[in-house]
Every structure is written in structure tokens, then in C-alpha cells.
Amino acid sequence: MSEISVASGWQHILAEAVEEASRLPPEWCFEITHAETVDGALRLSATYVSGDIPLDDHLPPERKMPHPWRSMMRIRENAKQQSLVTCECCGREGRLVGVGDEARVRCGRHEYVVDVAEWEEKRASMRTMFETEEGAVEHFRQDYGKGVDMMRDLQTAVEQDSGEPDPTSKH
């Protein structure tokens, strides 16, 4: 598969499209090659080999031969329809907001996000920060845990020495 990427909320739409493409006849060499956002919706492009399969659009549906172009249009349309109701940021139910260059599909929480790439970058750097913090907390817990063990050992030692069950009651 080519290097194509979509925002987090649309990953599963792309994955589904890729999955559907993988079930097409192998001789079509069908490959989703491009994903972009057009008028707020996901637009997929694909390459394929149609060879000499006629595009028999004049025939009734039941006599039509499977054609990679039609598969492409179907996959593209499915992805587009799904993307129109899926928040590009989080994958929750969304709707089309904004117009023109700012047209985008968002849930209520992410309506303010105009540039999803920028938003993801910010979120990723925040996540790194949190991970670092969590790491620090974990170290602290380990050190503190050792301290607790040491205290417990000390307490046990004192108890054994004095025969006094509670060393604090001596004072």
C-alpha cells in the first residue's frame, strides 16, 4: 500500500476502503493511492488495471461485468458518505461545518478545530508531555515504594527489639 494518511477520526474509514479493495480481483491491481479532503469530505483515489474490461454502462445491472472503475466509484462514495458524518478528529458522529476552505466534518467538541493536521500535532506533543509526566510519577512511586518498604523494615526491627507492637506509643 502506498503511503497515505488521514486524520485519526477517519482511520477506520480508510481501513475499510483498503479492506474492500483487497477483496477485488487481484488482476485489477487495485490500490488506493491517495486520500484528500475535498469540501470537508474524504476523497479517495485509486489506481487499477482495467485491461480490456468494457465499461458496459448501457447494460442492465444484472448483465454488467465487474469493473474496477465502478468499484473505485463505490469505494470512494462509501468513504465520502461515511466521512460526512464522522468527526475527522475523533471518529465520533459529526457533521459538516464551515464553508469553502474551512468546510470540515466535526463533532460538537471539535467544531473549533479548523486545521486537523495542526490539531493532531499539538495533541501528539501534549501526549508526549503527559507520558513524560507519567514516567516521572512512576519513578517517584518506585522510589517512594522503596521508602515505604524501608520504613516497614525499620518498624519491624524496632518492634522485635522492644517487644512493643506500636513504636510510636513509646513517646
For binding to Zn ion (CB under 5 A), which residues are involved?
87, 89-90, 92, 107, 110
Q: Is 40:98 a contact under the CB 8 Å cutoff?
A: yes
Nearest approach, Cβ of residue 83 and Zn ion (Å):
13
Nearer to Zn ion, 14 or 87 (CB): 87
Minimum distance of Zn ion from residue 114's CB (angstroms): 13
Distance CA 147, CA 138 (A): 14
Min dist CB 58 to Zn ion, Å, is 44
Query: Which of 34, 123 has the CB closer to Zn ion?
Result: 123
Q: Is 164 helix (H, G, I), strand (E, B) or coil?
A: coil
DSSP 96-125: EES-GGG-EEE-GGGTT---HHHHHHHHHH
How far apart are alpha carbons 95 and 59 in whole angstroms? Answer: 37
Residue nearer to Zn ion on the CB measure, 13 or 21: 13
